[in-house]
Each structure stands twice: as structure tokens, then as C-alpha cells.
Amino acid sequence: MAISAPTTSPDTGEVPETALQFPDNRLLIDLCGEFDRNLANIEQRLSVHITRRGNQLVVIGDEDARERAAEVLRNLYARLEQGRALDAGTLDAEIRMGGTADGTGARDGDQMELFQGGRVEIKTRKKFVEPRTDAQKAYVQSLFAHELAFGIGPAGTGKTYMAVAVGVSMFIGGHVDRIILSRPAVEAGERLGFLPGAMEEKVDPYMQPLYDALNDFLPGKQLARLREEKRIEIAPLAFMRGRTLTNAFVVLDEAQNATAMQMKMFLTRLGEGSRMVVTGDRTQVDLPRGQTSGLADAERLLKDVKGISFNYFTSKDVVRHPLVARIIEAYDADDG
């Protein structure tokens, strides 16, 4: 456990720096990162300066920034003490959200852990997945709490990734029998008929983001077997017509490109024991001019329906490259 000791200036009596002591030097090396990359990230994001003195890290800066940086360092070190991984995503989440990372707290079933301080983790076969913003955390909690949830916001905010993680978690926990992932096969510029290959080969490029998410959470051989057994399905939205989806975790991605009729068709597929997640970005509609987006239509009609959750993201929730958030903000400003 890290031990902190504010140091006092002999001239002014003020506390210009905070010294944190880390007993395990091996863990301290992991905390600092290769070439002190983690410390540099914290310095840049929180406007502090961090120096290393033996097994101490000294944080220099304004009081609020210094305390925030010290909290981040303590929480990350506590995580390492538990034998848990520290990667770029974890560091980003800690800087954004803070909270307690001591790993104590109550387990919510065997799929999601809600830790003291509000930290959430989703259990999948390959790794634990943690929300990296407050909006992501609220979204994940909503997915576990509601049978139908919407995630609406710009690209890069983790809407689909988190939904698939929750689906895998509920599947391996035995709470659903199947995972069904779908997207409208609406293209920007190309027509399906002009692409080479059979229908499955034509559709696969549109489904690739869903394959990518699944590969992050399930071993390749297991994923292939589950797809062969039809316990995991990835299909265009049009293939959902006429089906009743029972005991399944169902995700409709890129829902802004579903028509109003397609959205109604999809939502009415919900069967006993199933959960549905609808994700989309209202600013990236590729439907023909004059065609109403099913996402906008559903938002208008269902916003007051009991049991349905709407979760919203902004550019502040973008968890891809930081430049993506600035690009989104620039386009939003131009639209305004």
C-alpha cells in the first residue's frame, strides 16, 4: 500500500509537494511504466510534475491537481498489489474517473463487480472490462438493470464494445443462452450487389466491428465453436424479420441506419428472458435523403416508456485516440 506524506516548505509553511512511498520496488516499476510513460501521461493530463526518489514518487503542483494525481497513483498501485493488469486503458479510466481501486466490495451476480467507490468491472473469458468514463459506467449498470437499453452518442465512446462485453458476461454466467449481434447493411457509397462473393461474404465487412469486439472477449476456438453452434450469431438487421428472440442478449449496432419500420420490427422481436441493446450515432445517418432514422423515431416514441433506458454520450466520453474527441467537437461546432 502506498504511504503519502505531504512535505512542508520551511519558508512559507505551505505544502508544495506530496511524497508517496511505495514499498514494493517491482510494483513501483510497473506503476511508472516503460521509460516512465505512465508518469508522463499523468503529468500531462493532470498538470503536475512527478519525480522519483528511491521508492518514493513526489508530486509537485497546485493542491487540487497534486491530490488528484496522488489519488490516481495510490489507486493504480493498489491495483498492482492485487495482481491486476495496468494498461493504457486502465490508466485512462483512473485519470478520468478516480474512485477506489482496492478491489473490495460487493459482487453483483457473477457477471459484474461493483467495487467500493463505484468501480465497475465486467467479466469475460479473456479479460475484465472496466468503464472508462462516468457515462460508460452508468451505461453498463443500465445494461444489467434493463431489458431494453439505448446507447446514443458519437463514434469512439464504447457503446458497442461495452454492450458486447456485457452480452458475453451474461452468456458465460448462464443468464442468456445466445448472443445475437446485428447491424443494418447500409453502405456509404457502395451497393452490396456490386461487391464480389456470396451474400455472407458481401455482408461480412459490415459486421467486422462486431467480430472485433467478440475476439477481444472470447478465445478464438471457443468463438468459432459457438458461432458454428449458432449460440453466437452475427447477422444483418433484415435477417431478424419473423424471429422471436428468447433467452438471448441482442445488440443492434449502428441503429441510426435502420428505418422506422425496421426499428419497430427489431424491437418487437424481444422474447422471454432476453435483453436488447440499441446503439447509434445520430450524426452519422447513411439513409437516403428523406428517410426517417429508426433510432430518432424510437427515441421520440419510447423516451417515456417504463422499463426502457436511454443513455447518452458526448465527445468527452471518447476513449479512442484523444484526437478523435477534438475532431468530433470541431464537426459539432460547425453544425451548430
The rounded distance, in Å, linking the Cα atoms of 129 and 104 is 17
Where exactly are the structural domains of the chain?
A: 3-97, 108-335
Q: In this structure, which CATH number among 3.30.1370.10, 3.40.50.150, 3.40.50.720, 1.10.1240.10 belongs to the domain 3-97? A: 3.30.1370.10
Say yes or no: do domains 3-97 and 108-335 share a fold: no
CATH number for the segment(s) 108-335: 3.40.50.300
Sequence-ordered strand ranges (E) for 257-306: 275-280
In single-letter form, the type of residue at position 106 comes to A
Closest by alpha carbon to 250, among 310, 157, 177? 177
In single-letter form, the type of residue at position 325 comes to A
**Edge-to-edge strand ranges of the sheet holding 128-129:** 105-108, 112-115, 120-123, 128-129
Mark residue 197 as left, alpha or beta (left: phi above 0; alpha: psi -120 to 50; beta: remaining).
Answer: left
Tens digit of each residue's pLDDT, the chain (336 residues): 555 555 554 444 555 788 999 988 889 999 998 888 889 989 988 889 999 888 889 999 888 888 889 988 998 888 888 887 788 877 887 887 764 333 333 333 445 554 434 567 788 888 888 888 889 999 999 999 999 999 999 988 999 999 999 999 999 989 999 999 998 876 543 444 555 555 556 567 777 888 888 999 999 999 999 999 999 998 888 888 888 899 999 999 999 999 999 999 999 999 999 999 999 999 889 888 888 999 999 999 999 999 999 999 988 888 766 677 778 778 777 765
Q: Are strands 128-129 and 112-115 parallel, antiparallel or unpaired?
A: unpaired
Q: Do 121 and 131 touch, CB atoms closer than 8 A?
A: no
In single-letter form, the type of residue at position 315 comes to S
Model pTM? Answer: 0.71
Closest by alpha carbon to 143, among 177, 179, 167, 173? 167
